[in-house]
Amino acid sequence: MSERAVAGPQAAGAGLAIPADTVARLDAAGLDPAQVISLVAAALAEDLAGGADVTTAATVPPGRRGQAGLIARSAGTVAGLPVAALAFHLVPGGEHVTIAYQAADGDRLSPGQQVLTVAGPVRAILTAERTALNLLCHLSGVATLTRQFADAVAGTQARIRDTRKTMPGLRALQKYAVRCGGGVNHRMSLSDAALVKDNHVAAAGSVGAAFAAVRREAPGLPVEVECDTLEQVAEALEAGADLILLDNFAVPDMAAAVALTAGRAKLEASGRITIDSARAIAETGVDYLAVGALTHSAPVLDIGLDLLE
């Protein structure tokens, strides 16, 4: 198996080279392999707490080899397969683990569908099991919820977009999972783009003043302005906003904002959007639906690991 060394802490498997296929899959996903390795290593270190997996050590003979399947228990959209694979490579004995993929991130899963086969030392497989599943089930849950929203607005011009309401340390992975589910990403950080919110407007004195101040400070960045009323939408348009966030607008007011804007800026609906309300909002003609729940409230997708005979 070809391998590639990647810088970064690697938990109990420090110094191990990561299989090139795993690194390539992370690269293709738009993820920083070293950053993901560091995160998975920290998760494994937390689980081992400087010691060993005492249950596995007591019940599994040292030389035993075997296979295990990661199997979907319920329907959904999978995300994070190469992230889960890392967990099996980074535990003690993980250098002897091989991974076979039966699915790709973004695939829709049926109950009973196997997504990965893990082969190698059984001790390594069982020690990494919970860390791998914690990450895979969570990211697949984000992708599944995103897919449900994306399906709800299919056929309209609207796209489902995430927010910065992410778990600390998991933003890149959660936003990747949103992409796997058919959504698109908002800014990754406070420095990527400007978002003038109500408190900024209050501090600056008006929508126009806040927009002008940001434009002076960061002339090359796109600027989005949060508006609470149609009057503020008109002010934001006059100021030259690239994108306008319609905060808690009623559906008829969203339609009025679309007519008022007439294509001069992109419009993003925000505020307690649900699966049930998404279609009506999308049909007003807005460009994006911002859904914080994608990352802060997605239920996990049930995926389990079973040792195979």
Average pLDDT along the chain: 94
Query: Domain 151-296: which CATH class?
Result: alpha beta
Q: Locate the DSSP E strands across the chain.
A: 3-4, 18-19, 65-72, 76-77, 98-101, 108-109, 114-121, 159-161, 194-196, 223-227, 243-247, 266-270, 288-290, 303-308
What is the rounded average pLDDT of the residues 260-277?
A: 97
pLDDT of res. 13: 42
**Cα 143 to the center of its chain, rounded Å:** 7
Phi, psi dihedral angles at 262 (to 5 degrees) = 50, 40
Q: Which fold has domain 3-140+299-308?
A: Aldehyde Oxidoreductase; domain 3 (3.90.1170)
pLDDT of res. 6: 54
Task: Enumerate residues 6+ apart whose C-beta is below 8 A from 16.
Answer: 10, 89, 90, 94, 95
Q: Say which residue, 258 or 12, is predicted with more confidence.
A: 258
Q: Considering the candidates 53, 95, 226, 268, report the single residue annotated as catalytic.
A: 226
**Cα 82 to the center of its chain, rounded Å:** 14
What is the rounded average pLDDT of the residues 272-295?
A: 98
Q: Considering the candidates 73, 108, 164, 197, report the single residue annotated as catalytic.
A: 197
**Contact yes or no for 110/74 (Cβ under 8 A):** no
Q: Considering the candidates 65, 108, 164, 165, report the single residue annotated as catalytic.
A: 165
Catalytic residue check, 247: yes
pLDDT of res. 210: 94
Confidence category of residue 16, pLDDT binned at 50, 70, 90: low
Catalytic residue check, 266: no
Q: 10 is written with which tokens?
A: 């690697």
What are the extents of the domains in the chain?
A: 3-140+299-308, 151-296
Q: Considering the candidates 130, 159, 264, 279, report the single residue annotated as catalytic.
A: 130
pTM assigned to the model? 0.94
For residues 100 and 156, give the distance between their C-alpha atoms in angstroms, rounded to a whole number.
37
Flag whether pLDDT at 14 surpasses 60: no
Catalytic residue check, 130: yes
What would the pLDDT profile of 136-181 be if each residue is shown by its tens digit? Answer: 999 999 999 999 999 999 999 999 999 999 999 999 999 999 999 9
Do 3-140+299-308 and 151-296 share a fold? no
Q: Considering the candidates 198, 228, 247, 302, report the single residue annotated as catalytic.
A: 247
Catalytic residue check, 175: no
**Cα-based angle 204, 166, 271 (whole degrees, multiple of 5):** 55
**Contact yes or no for 111/74 (Cβ under 8 A):** yes
Flag whether pLDDT at 272 surpasses 80: yes
Flag whether pLDDT at 241 surpasses 50: yes
